[in-house]
Amino acid sequence: MSHIFISYKKEDVHFADGIKKKLRESEFKSWIDRYEIIAGDNWSNRIEQALRDCMALIVVITPEMLDSDYITYEWSYALGANKPVIGIMMKLVDDKKLHPELQPRQYLNYVNHSLDEDNNLIETIRQRIATPNAPLSQLSSRKNSSSTSSPLFIRLKKAYELKKPIGKDFYLSVLAQLDYITREERMILSDIDKLNPSH
């Protein structure tokens, strides 16, 4: 197992290339289909072999990937083989729309900042490879440890506790600012969805 498989939608190829660059700078070998599959290859066999040989898989989370059978096959193959699967949210996606196997899994949030602004991805990969089954929250601290104590999140939590209606735009703006989604945050956001079905 020598590389990290990058699973992405074609529309997000530039972001996937950014991940590849970030990995290369830290001396990790990556596998992206458009660089590894050439004319005449059986692309299905090449992808399956790459999944079999990878030490971890990164899946780029965007609205466009939700209906992709190929991406679902790739990350589910990795999960089935007990390989670390690291989700990176590139564009905002409502958790409820994620596949049920991905919903409870914490992911790295790069909706509002670029890969070059921190080293969370590399730190997570190193630690995840060392301890494949550990919760992500135990592996890496937040890029911004005060995400849950930010004014926006405090307002959201207070509204939730008082059972007040919460506007969709405000809800999404809070969700977008979180670098990681903790269990506490996920429970609060899930309950808010139940109180505000329009979300």
Taking only the tens place, the pLDDT of each residue in 68-125 is 999 999 999 998 888 999 999 999 998 889 988 888 888 999 998 888 888 888 888 8
Residues 46 and 92 in one domain: yes
The pTM is what?
A: 0.66
The count of structural domains within the chain is 2
Domain-ending residue, one of 95, 112, 139: 139
Q: In this structure, are strands 30-31 and 56-61 parallel, antiparallel, or unpaired?
A: unpaired
Residues 183 and 103 in one domain: no
Domain-ending residue, one of 95, 121, 139: 139
Residues 96 and 189 in one domain: no
pLDDT of residue 172 exceeding 60: no
Residues 133 and 175 in one domain: no
Residues 36 and 133 in one domain: yes
Domain-ending residue, one of 139, 156, 179: 139
Residues 23 and 114 in one domain: yes
pLDDT, residue 140, reads 42
Better-predicted residue by pLDDT, 192 or 138: 192
Residues 131 and 40 in one domain: yes
Residues 100 and 18 in one domain: yes
Name which of 9, 68, 56 is nearest 30 in CA terms.
Answer: 56
DSSP string, 31-61: E-HHHH--TTS-HHHHHHHHHHH-SEEEEEE
Residues 93 and 188 in one domain: no
Q: Which domain holds residue 89?
A: 4-139
pLDDT, residue 96, reads 87
pLDDT of residue 195 exceeding 70: no
Residues 128 and 159 in one domain: no
Residues 120 and 25 in one domain: yes
The residues near 122 (Cβ < 8 Å, ≥ 6 apart) are 22, 23, 26, 28
Q: What is the DSSP letter of 10?
A: G
Output the domain CATH number for residue 90: 3.40.50.10140
